[in-house]
Structure 1
Amino acid sequence: MASRSILDPPPRESLARFRDRIPRYVLTVDTEEEFDWDKPLTRDTHGIEHVGRLSKFQEFCEHEGVVPVYLVDWPIANARLAADILREPLADGRAEIGVQLHPWVNPPFEEEVNQANSFAGNLPPALEERKIEALRTTIEERFGMAPLIYRAGRYGAGQNTADILRRQGIAVDSSVRPKFDYSSAGGPNYRPHPVAPYWLDDERTLLELPLTTAFWGMLRRQGDWLYPALWRVPALRGLLARVGLLERVPLTPEGVSVEEAIRGIDMALDDGAPLLMFSFHSPSLRPGDTPYVRTEDDLDTLYDWWRRIFTYLQQRGVKPSSVTDVMNAVER
């Protein structure tokens, strides 16, 4: 019994549906170490000083009635403070936990650290699996919960990732980022993948929850072929967005305004997306740790972004969800 490769667009019959037909959204947090995004990756030049900020964010989500899904990588899994903050919310169902693999900081350390190997799916299958297994086991030991969702760091799934996840008892993947292509850096091309959830195997035991990205503008119906055709001229992409012709909108507060995100939500819902997957990086909870949050004012803006988005989703009748809710509601 084998799974389809995460890298291959799925057949239409594998699309997943919810029994109640209620649209949902899930908030995922790429819970990871701080590092300089502009410098080459290394095994040891990183920090975890922002981890204490998870407490405030968790309280914020609880107040808003949202269950955040923390996708934890190796440095965070081994941070005692992270476990101290999240263990109780996880046990009470006020938060959920998953696996996020940054192979360059995750043992066993057998590969060269370079750009190609930063996409875990490029590693030898046995090494990719040993890294995932080491991280999954550590998360379960430290946080008291078996993770049921996986995201490859840098969205770097590979040909063997789906089968590895099944063997490791992980029922959900969220590595696919539709309308994005990382092949120029040695990573996957997710341009042709659907935004809607779909099954990665005929037995319906492994579910893909792609991150949500939508095209907006007068040319949005042509976005799937027009946007990639303009990759060599980013200035033209920017011009098309400014004049309302074509804009790519991922659902994240990092580099996307509230107004842009609302347009993306509207487009995704109008296209019939049953699930909206949001994401951002946990180091953005401390000013200076990502390019998106440099000051305390930026951090206030990030929290306000979520507050306004939650309000808009409620107005549109989109239900806050979680991995557990998704798995209970999906048709098999």
Structure 2
Amino acid sequence: MKPFIITIDTEGDNLWGRHAGAPGTRNAEYIPRFQDLCDEFGFKPTYLTNWEMAHAQPFVHMARAAIAEDRAEVGCHIHAWDSPPQVARTADDHRHHPYLIEYPDQVMRAKVAGHTQLLEDTFGCKMVSHRAGRWAMDERYARLLLEHGYTVDCSVTPGVSWQRQPGAPDGAGGSDYRHFPEQPYYMDPDNIARPARAGQRALLQVPMTTRASWIERSAPQLYRIPVLRSLAYRVAEPVHWLRLKRNNLASVLQLVQREAVRSPYLEFMIHSSEFMPGGSPYFPGAHDIEQLFADMRTLFAAIARTHHGMTLGAFAAQWQAGSSSAEAA
């Protein structure tokens, strides 16, 4: 059976609302229900945790117990506007949500160091897994993660460009992953879009399970021309994700069926705030949450027929062992 990796961006309540200050962490009380569902199927989620959630005691207590019992993993997820040191990048960082890669090198270094130390002190284990806040990664960031002992990242979203998603108003937007590899690879620290050279110390990239539509691959401009965008979306969404939203279970199951054959793993993602009514724009009410959990149960049951649960860190260790064996042979 192939690995199934569950990644949760474990962060404050409804960050889509662009809070004036630090968001609440009520969603921490709703995460145990999700962990129970994972336990039922023998899946082992990776909670990629930001600053405020590392201080949310209901989550901290649950995660410590799950780590001790090898039922879950905690990794790093940095929201640059929340993580100390607090260095203003814009006139209102809580409104703009600037990308970490938009800060000066020394600020990036301090934020990565401080966040890593907080997580390791809080959860009592080495941090090895990471996902960038707002999916923004560059070569400087990859090298910093290596310096701090991280072995695996999952920030790449094949087929997706985040350049139209602004951070700092004077910035260039997010990362463009449209031409990045779709399968795991060790990232060249000098160019993270390409595999590292043999023998080069590098960070394993485990891209999200996504699949660009035939329109996105052959005529992406159709999604970007206003008069044609609506028609293009009726034919096909530009990129399909292994991610549940309202009324997309059928398309996600189709993606699973295709990727189960062509990919060595499946990677699912969700935000912790999506487990709470009103914690996201996707599931605003209690009924929506019940439907989400019903859809996750159906999805997990389908995946369990062909895949087994594995944390991101465990996948990286297995991939490294396989690579070493192949080199030795």
Q: CA deviation at 1:251?
A: 0.7
Q: CA deviation at 1:34?
A: 1.2
Q: CA deviation at 1:81?
A: 2.3
**Which residue matches 1:303?**
293
Secondary structure (helix, strand or coil) at the match of 2:81 reads helix
Match among 267, 273, 282 for residue 272 of structure 2? 282
Change (3 A) 1:38 1:54: closer
Amino acid at match of 1:231: R
Give yes or no for the alignment of 1:173 onto 2:153: yes
**Which residue matches 1:269?**
260
Amino acid at match of 2:132: A
2:55 and 2:279 mapped to 1: Cα distance?
Answer: 19
1:318 and 1:174 mapped to 2: Cα distance?
Answer: 19
Match among 142, 157, 162 for residue 142 of structure 2? 162
2:179 and 2:202 mapped to 1: Cα distance?
Answer: 23
Amino acid at match of 2:302: Y
Change (3 A) 1:150 1:66: same
Give CA-to-partner distance per residue, 1:165-221, whole Å, 9 cap, x none: 0001111111111111111221111111122111114335410011111135xxx2x
Give yes or no for the alignment of 1:191 onto 2:178: yes
**Which residue matches 1:321?**
310
1:283 and 1:169 mapped to 2: Cα distance?
Answer: 28
- 8 Å Cα contact 1:116-1:187 kept in structure 2: no
2:221 and 2:113 mapped to 1: Cα distance?
Answer: 36
Change (3 A) 1:226 1:328: same
- Note the aligned Cα RMSD (angstroms): 2.0
Change (3 A) 1:205 1:93: farther
Amino acid at match of 1:152: A
- 8 Å Cα contact 1:121-1:159 kept in structure 2: no
2:209 and 2:149 mapped to 1: Cα distance?
Answer: 25
Trace 1:1-332 onto structure 2 (pairs within 5 A): 22-39=1-18, 42=20, 44-113=21-90, 114=93, 118-184=98-164, 185=166, 186-200=173-187, 201-202=196-197, 203=200, 205-215=202-212, 220=214, 223-233=216-226, 234-241=229-236, 248-255=239-246, 257-270=248-261, 272-315=262-305, 317-330=306-319, 331-332=322-323
1:276 and 1:58 mapped to 2: Cα distance?
Answer: 18
Q: CA deviation at 1:307?
A: 1.1
Name which of structure 1's ranges 252-261 and 228-237 shifts more when overlaid on structure 2: 228-237
Secondary structure (helix, strand or coil) at the match of 1:176 reads coil
**Which residue matches 1:7?**
none
Secondary structure (helix, strand or coil) at the match of 1:193 reads coil
Change (3 A) 1:45 1:237: farther
Q: CA deviation at 1:319?
A: 2.7
Give CA-to-partner distance per residue, 1:271-324, whole Å, 9 cap, x none: x21122110110011101101111121111111122111121133x22322224
Q: CA deviation at 1:225?
A: 3.6
Secondary structure (helix, strand or coil) at the match of 1:50 reads helix
Give the count of matched residue pairs: 299
Change (3 A) 1:31 1:197: same
Q: CA deviation at 1:125?
A: 1.8
Secondary structure (helix, strand or coil) at the match of 1:195 reads coil
TM-score w.r.t. the length of structure 2 is: 0.85
- 8 Å Cα contact 1:122-1:158 kept in structure 2: no
Secondary structure (helix, strand or coil) at the match of 2:16 reads coil
- 8 Å Cα contact 1:215-1:264 kept in structure 2: no
Amino acid at match of 1:326: F
Structure 2: gaps of 5 or more residues: 167-172, 188-195, 324-329
2:249 and 2:296 mapped to 1: Cα distance?
Answer: 8
- 8 Å Cα contact 2:277-2:288 kept in structure 1: yes
Change (3 A) 1:303 1:45: same
2:251 and 2:238 mapped to 1: Cα distance?
Answer: 9
Q: CA deviation at 1:226?
A: 2.0
1:138 and 1:266 mapped to 2: Cα distance?
Answer: 39
Identity of aligned residues (%): 24
- 8 Å Cα contact 1:249-1:256 kept in structure 2: no
TM-score w.r.t. the length of structure 1 is: 0.84
- 8 Å Cα contact 2:22-2:82 kept in structure 1: no
1:193 and 1:305 mapped to 2: Cα distance?
Answer: 30
